[in-house]
């Protein structure tokens, strides 16, 4: 009789989307009242406005990442979707795996953009802090994207470990490249918004 899978084993295939959603929820629900010191409806209304602007501003970059990273799927190197969808050495990528990769990539970039928008709020909230030297402060927009990117890379490689193929050097490098694509999402969204590209 086989032993039932543990909670960790059941979580593993869904670890990336669940964890990134949890990061977004944490950033949206917890960070604004901490920064503004006011867990009121006004705080969450401002946060909702930031989130809508972030999604709108990050969408062109998200679509670009979803398309530009397709060669990694076609070569069987890495994917934003489930690792089991990657084609084998002598197989070609299925249309389903291509679509799922693109949709997951767009979703993760938008998530990084939303967390980055909360990071932008942190940049504004700390801009008038005389106690902290400005040169010491990181860009919270990039830091937020880095957290989402690191979460993706770590958990996606863990997911690869459960597949028959495992996480070889090629897959690891490809997954890191995909994670790096998430880091500047918030910064690019701000750049596009400031230049009026989306208007």
Q: 139 in a domain, yes or no? A: yes
**What pLDDT, on the 0 to 100 scale, is given for residue 17?**
93
Q: 156 in a domain, yes or no? A: yes
The number of angstroms, rounded, from the C-alpha of 129 to the middle of its chain's C-alpha atoms is 29
**What pLDDT, on the 0 to 100 scale, is given for residue 131?**
42
Q: Which two tokens stand for residue 144?
A: 């937020």
Residue 4 φ then ψ, to 5°:
-65, 150
Residue 162 is part of which domain span? 11-194
Question: pTM of the entire structure?
Answer: 0.86
**What pLDDT, on the 0 to 100 scale, is given for residue 21?**
95
pLDDT at position 155 over 90: yes
Q: 179 in a domain, yes or no? A: yes
Q: Which of 95, 117, 104, 106 is nearest to 64 (CA)?
A: 106
**What pLDDT, on the 0 to 100 scale, is given for residue 97?**
92
Q: 98 in a domain, yes or no? A: yes
pLDDT at position 137 over 50: no
Our count of domains for the chain comes to 1
**What pLDDT, on the 0 to 100 scale, is given for residue 153?**
95
The number of angstroms, rounded, from the C-alpha of 8 to the middle of its chain's C-alpha atoms is 22
Q: 5 in a domain, yes or no? A: no
Residues with Cβ within 8 Å of residue 174, at least 6 apart in sequence: 72, 77, 78
CA distance 172 to 169: 5
Average pLDDT on 181-185 reads 93
Please write the tens of the pLDDT for every residue from 33-85.
Answer: 887 777 888 888 888 888 898 899 899 999 999 999 999 999 989 999 988 88
Surface-to-core class of residue 8, CB atoms within 10 Å of its CB (0-12 exposed, 13-18 middle, 19+ buried): exposed
Q: 4 in a domain, yes or no? A: no
* Three-state DSSP state, 162: coil
pLDDT at position 183 over 80: yes
181 in Cβ contact with 102 (< 8 Å):
no
Q: 22 in a domain, yes or no? A: yes
Q: 2 in a domain, yes or no? A: no
Residues with Cβ within 8 Å of residue 30, at least 6 apart in sequence: none
104 in Cβ contact with 72 (< 8 Å):
no
């Amino acid at each position: 009789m086989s032993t039932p899978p543990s909670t960790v084993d059941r979580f593993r295939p869904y670890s990336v989307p669940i964890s990134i959603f949890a990061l977004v929820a944490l950033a949206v629900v917890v960070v604004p009242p901490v920064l503004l010191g006011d867990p009121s409806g006004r705080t969450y209304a401002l946060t909702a406005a930031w989130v809508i602007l972030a999604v709108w501003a990050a969408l062109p970059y998200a679509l670009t990442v979803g398309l530009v990273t397709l060669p990694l799927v076609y070569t069987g190197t890495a994917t934003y979707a489930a690792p089991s969808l990657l084609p084998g050495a002598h197989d070609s990528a299925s249309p389903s795996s291509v679509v799922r990769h693109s949709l997951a990539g767009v979703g993760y970039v938008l998530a990084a953009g939303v967390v980055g928008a909360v990071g932008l709020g942190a940049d504004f909230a700390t801009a008038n802090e005389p106690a902290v030297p400005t040169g010491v402060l990181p860009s919270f927009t990039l830091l937020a994207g880095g957290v989402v990117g690191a979460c993706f890379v770590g958990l996606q490689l863990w997911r690869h470990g459960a597949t028959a193929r495992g996480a070889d050097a090629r897959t690891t490098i490809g997954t890191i490249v995909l994670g790096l694509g998430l880091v500047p999402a918030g910064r690019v969204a701000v750049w596009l918004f400031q230049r009026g590209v989306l208007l």
